[in-house]
Chain A
Amino acid sequence: MTVLLQLILSGIMVGSIYSLVALGFVLIYKSSGIINVAQGQMLMIGGFVSWTFLSGIQLPDSLATIFGSKYFPIPIAIALSVLVAILMGLIIERLLLRPMIGQPILAVVMMTIALAAFMDGMTTLLWGAGARNFPEFIPRTPIRLGELILSPQHLFAFLLAILLLAGFTLFFQRSHTGLQMRAAAEDHRVAQSLGVNVTRVFAMAWIISAVVSTLGGILLGSINGINLSLSFLGLKVLPVVLLGGLESIPGAIIAGPIIGILENLGVAYLDPLVGGGIKEVAPFFILLVVLLFKPYGLFGLQRIERV
């Protein structure tokens, strides 16, 4: 019983990281209708950039004496990474996705796939294939709940996911910009004729998504360190997004832990039967089941259309 509870608990915690990544994905889809396959790469680059600011760049002496350490203090480093993320989002939107407005879905998906390949290559070039570790800024000593063990970093990720969920739900329900974004996703032309600046909305969406990804990258870095395999997370999160429903923020937050739990249970109970590797493939089995029986996910908008 304890084992089962522990599996479920750690599943929820791992799943909350999926939720964070899925959130960035849903944000872009919800506000521009673009499916961003490069989400994992954005997370990875965010992680590497923040690593560079946290412990990659040594400050010159004059600054080092002001801050009292050889590296940027953590808040400044995070602020700088967020700044880079904003720039990254802007550049991607302006150079690559704006020419794709009105193009067929295959072209848009291929564009983000090209972006993913380019970002993979760029990260390998700039940071190399090795893993990088972050300085510790969330305590690592595990929290004990009776017989269950909980890692504080995962708990932090979980809390951040919940916080972002509340924030973005309010943003899309109440704020002017949020409503504009939803209108733009629904129909570019109608939104434009109602006075929504569609290009600005798209730029906003990419900036927000890049920032959320960078935050996720920092969080993941503080848990396991970062390396090139992080980009795979972007693909692993696609089942989460589809299970939750492509345009549903609560869906992303709920589906993350569901996939996390199923994955953990699969590893514990099925791995011995089939000889391992369930962790990588379980989300995709779930994906197939979702596509066959509930293609629009748990909370996605049902577009009634006979195929």
Chain B
Amino acid sequence: MLPAGTFNTTYANDMAIIRTRLQWTLFIAFMIFLFGIFPGAVDDSVLTLANNIAIVLIAVLGLNILTGLCGQISIGQAAFMGVGAYLHGVMVTKLGLNFLIAMPLAALGTALIGLLFGIPSLRVKGFYLAMATLAAQFIITWSIVHSPRQITGGADGLHVAVASLGALKFDDEKSFFYLAFPIAALMIFFAKNIARTRVGRAFIAIRDNDLAAQAMGINLFRYKLLAFALSSAFAGVAGALWAHHLVVISPDHFLLTDSIWQLGMLIVGGLGSTLGAILGTVFLLTLRDWAVPTAAPILGKMFPLFQLDLFTSLALMIFGVVLMVFLIFEPRGLAHRWEIFKASYRLHPFSY
């Protein structure tokens, strides 16, 4: 719904993501705040969290294309992120490629692996397909551990060179912020636009009713594979950034738990909405990496009996409860809440 008095008078106007002058002002103000003020104003721990959010967000955006738009459940996004991280790490470290060249190649390679595991979607869907992605999760991490040590480093992990552009080195949190956030912004732009093109609409049609979609001339198999490839490509970019951020990558960074957290972020944010992916990632990662570590020592003092394992258990329990609450009370996620808020703001003081 558009604000009162705003009408689309041209096609360009109708297609625009940012429509009113107020939105432009807010957008530019936000950008100035994000890139100009934010990195200087906060300390390194907050920047680490912000960089993490940017990286995971890219993977969640990919998952949103596959699960949110195309309706294919995937419980293996973290493993595809691992594929991207290792492909990128090997290309940068062993082959000496510049990271800007290696990153698209890593995304492409991950997309191919994603295609491979998307093949079962030819025959199965729903829960069965989710099982195929679960198998992908385990098989990929296992293959990384068991490929030749001189390439991936096996279980010890792989040391990745710092990303650098000429004299510019992205080796601390603040400089990495300026690498991660522009790429994340670019990926948000891609994701948002994929959802609005012919391909995105085909995905949505498949999600809502695959038989009807086929009857309308959408090649199911092709589009499902495309969704798998796109989603994996996003995961590949996220993995590449992850490799540069952590410097040492190991298969332990890409476990089933991480895949499940990413799926959770999507649910909490709202399936099928780019804004939802952003909100969900920010919400759950802040909860896990800031709220829980802050709360755990305080709770530990209050309940000394449980002090020992409070930290790990608290994150899991809160994740479970948050997910349950959203599934029962707000299955359309935070994005839907935001839409309701916007609509009621525009209609104020009338409720309809």
Contacts and interface: CB of A to CB of B under 8 A. Distances in A.
A97 to B, nearest CB: 10
B135 A109 contact: no
A280 to B, nearest CB: 7
Contacts of B314: 121, 125
Interface string A111-137: 101111111111111101100000000
A291 B317 contact: no
Given A99-B327, A121-B318, 20 more contacts: A35-B127, A99-B328, A100-B327, A100-B328, A106-B67, A113-B323, A117-B260, A118-B317, A119-B320, A121-B317, A121-B319, A124-B316, A125-B310, A235-B134, A275-B146, A281-B138, A287-B131, A287-B134, A295-B124, A307-B123
Contacts of B319: 114, 117-118, 121
B73 A125 contact: no
Contacts of A111: 323-324, 327
Name B's interface SS: helix
B157 interface: no
A121 B146 contact: no
A18 B95 CA distance: 45
Name A's interface SS: helix
Given A109-B73, A110-B327, A291 B131 contact: yes
B139 interface: yes
Contacts of B267: 110
Contacts of B315: 121
Interface of A: 35, 96, 99-100, 103, 105-107, 109-111, 113-126, 128-129, 235, 238-239, 242, 274-277, 280-281, 284-285, 287-288, 291-292, 295, 307
A196 to B, nearest CB: 24
Nearest to B328: A99
A280 B135 contact: no
B122 interface: yes
Nearest to B73: A106
B327 A114 contact: yes
Interface string B136-178: 0011001001100000000000000000000000000000000
B323 A292 contact: no
A248 to B, nearest CB: 15
B126 interface: yes
B119 interface: yes
Given A103-B331, A235-B134, A114 B124 contact: no
A285 B121 contact: no
Given A117-B260, A121-B316, A288 B323 contact: no
A107 B331 contact: yes
A105 B125 CA distance: 11
Contacts of B142: 277, 280-281
A122 B324 contact: no
B123 A114 contact: no
B324 A114 contact: yes
Contacts of B264: 110, 113-114
B188 interface: no
B113 to A, nearest CB: 14
Interface in B86-128: 119-128
B320 A307 contact: no
A118 B131 contact: no
A259 to B, nearest CB: 13
Contacts of B316: 117-118, 120-121, 124
4 A-B pairs closest in CB distance: A118-B320, A121-B316, A121-B317, A114-B323
Given A107-B331, A125-B317, A291 B323 contact: no
B271 to A, nearest CB: 8
A47 B189 CA distance: 49
Nearest to B120: A291
A292 B132 CA distance: 9
Nearest to A236: B138
Given A118-B320, A124-B316, A275-B146, A292 B328 contact: no
A270 to B, nearest CB: 11
A285 B135 CA distance: 7
A113 B309 contact: no
Contacts of B260: 113, 117
